[in-house]
Amino acid sequence: MNEEEAWRYADELRDRVRPPDFPDRWFDVTAFGPDVTTADPDVGDPDGPSGPGERWTEAFRAAIEACHEAGGGHVRVPPGTYLTGAIHLRSNVDLHIEADATILFSTDPADYLPAVYTRFSAIECYNYSPFVYAYGQENIAITGEGVLDGGAGPEHWWPWVGTPEFGYREGMPHEADDWAELQRMAADGVPVEERVFGAGHYLRPNLIQPYLCRNVLVEGVRIVRSPMWEIHPVRCENVLVRNVSIYSRGPNNDGCDPESCRSVVISGCVFDVGDDCIAIKAGRGPDGRRVGVPCEDVLIEDCDMRYRYGSVAIGTDTTGGIRNVFVRRCRWGGPGLYFGLYIKTNSVRGGFVENVFVKDVEISELTKEAVSIDLYHGDGHNGDDPPPIRNIHVADVRSDRTRSAYLLRGYPEQPLREITIKGSSFARVQRADVVSDVERFSVTDVTIGT
């Protein structure tokens, strides 16, 4: 795929990933609740529908079920604050959160049980339900101008990562043992139905996760305070994420992570998050090889990436392979943002990355590279599955400040191939670029200044 073919393909991808249609039926969640349970009496909005002691978990369930059974439509969340546990979407249902409405998720892990089929850090298992979850559904959406508030912080969820920066103190439970056990299970081929975590364990759930779904829309909403990854579609097809703003600087708080998906468009979004803004993934290690589903046909356009690690990351989880990624008209930068295009993997993760095209990007400031393609990331060169990385093209980048313009590191026996950077300028670069084990590397009409 050359550049002309690539951008023509990107336009076709944008045109074919369309939002799902919903019948003009409306189901107001307030007509189905609230269900008064053991909610924290200090949580609630006395001026809105959710008063002290009121939870809306059952109301959301009932409204979504009624909408689904009627043939589809919209579940309206009017202004106010709605305290709830897990919300599970059904086919042909749009969860529409109006302006001045907040869905406030409970901080009690029991509200996300029973455990559901999910992925934690790209490995399949059963774990706490993602806060908004769908499995095997079609035509689903989360829309509106309201807020999804995960309630996470140094007091809830974030300490499970096990670092003092996020509230952990000596003697608190954390995820290290569970994470090690899940990786062992995957390496030993333990069936997924036997990899059960959830109650009594400490693997944080994602905020939004459609799994094996088709025709998915997330539009307009604001997302804050997530336990972990914010929007994580897994093995989905036809996914549209547009005009979403995410502000959540917690641990592993990636903004949008399409994993083993096909036909994804991410457009007009703002990312101010605690990890990669967008991270494209395809399973991890032995589990990724077992499933063997790539992530392909991803278009990212007109987005602002402000904080913290990769602006557009491809990896670390590349085992199933990643191809056909297009990025255009984006803005990267801020005093706390590290990388621009960040392709990161190693010979333990394996897989492949091919056909990545970037153009028309404005960079205000990055603390590291504008373009980093590094096969020594993480586990380094300590496996037997060196990933081929090929056909990566970057054009028309305007950068005001970076550590260096690019860092490119392949392996002697598996070099990076067909890497081009052209028509770009990089000002106020602090150190020399790094290029090792790269075949067919081309730099044309590029200026680099100190």
CA dist., res. 250 & res. 270, Å (int): 16
Q: Residues 103-148: pLDDT tens digits?
A: 999 999 999 999 999 999 999 999 999 999 999 999 999 999 999 9
Q: Which residues contact 73 (CB under 8 A, 6 or more apart)?
A: 22, 23, 24, 25, 26, 27, 67, 92, 93, 94
- Report residue 205 CA to chain centroid gap: 12
Q: Which residues contact 395 (CB under 8 A, 6 or more apart)?
A: 3, 358, 359, 360, 420, 421, 422, 423, 424
What's the burial of 361, exposed, middle or buried (CB within 10 Å: 0-12/13-18/19+)? buried
CA dist., res. 73 & res. 95, Å (int): 9
Is the CB of residue 84 less than 8 Å from the CB of residue 106? yes
Question: What pLDDT, on the 0 to 100 scale, is given for residue 41?
Answer: 41
CA dist., res. 254 & res. 307, Å (int): 10
Tokens of residue 134, six digits:
């769908």
Question: What pLDDT, on the 0 to 100 scale, is given for residue 24?
Answer: 98
Question: What pLDDT, on the 0 to 100 scale, is given for residue 51?
Answer: 55
State which amino acid sits at residue 127: N
Question: What pLDDT, on the 0 to 100 scale, is given for residue 50?
Answer: 55
User: Could you tell me whether strands 369-374 and 26-28 are parallel, antiparallel, or unpaired per DSSP bridges?
Assistant: unpaired
Question: What pLDDT, on the 0 to 100 scale, is given for residue 208?
Answer: 99
Low-confidence ranges of the chain (pLDDT < 70): 36-53
The candidate with the shortest Cα–Cα distance to 263, out of 353, 221, 326, 321, is 326
Question: What pLDDT, on the 0 to 100 scale, is given for residue 46?
Answer: 37
Question: What pLDDT, on the 0 to 100 scale, is given for residue 33?
Answer: 86
Question: What pLDDT, on the 0 to 100 scale, is given for residue 53?
Answer: 61
Is the CB of residue 89 less than 8 Å from the CB of residue 140? yes
Q: How far is CA 112 from CA 84, 154, 194, 230, 364, in A?
A: 10, 19, 19, 16, 40
Q: In what order do the strands lie in the sheet with 208-211?
A: 87-88, 132-135, 208-211
Q: What is the value of pTM for the model shown?
A: 0.96
Give the DSSP per-residue string, 199-221: TT--PPPPSEEEES-EEEEEES-
CA dist., res. 82 & res. 43, Å (int): 10
Give the DSSP per-residue string, 347-363: TTT---EEEEEEEEEEE
Evaluate the CA torsion angle 248, 249, 253, 254 in order and state its sign. Answer: positive
Residue 190, Cβ neighbours under 10 Å: how many? 14
Is the CB of residue 256 less than 8 Å from the CB of residue 231? yes
Question: What pLDDT, on the 0 to 100 scale, is given for residue 37?
Answer: 53
Question: What pLDDT, on the 0 to 100 scale, is given for residue 102?
Answer: 98
Q: Which residues contact 415 (CB under 8 A, 6 or more apart)?
A: 437, 438, 439
Using only the alpha carbons of the chain, give its radius of gyration. 22
Tokens of residue 167, six digits:
């509230």
CA dist., res. 235 & res. 366, Å (int): 32
The candidate with the shortest Cα–Cα distance to 367, out of 419, 407, 314, is 407
Q: How far is CA 341 from CA 153, 168, 203, 328, 433, in A?
A: 29, 31, 28, 12, 15
Question: What pLDDT, on the 0 to 100 scale, is given for residue 52?
Answer: 53
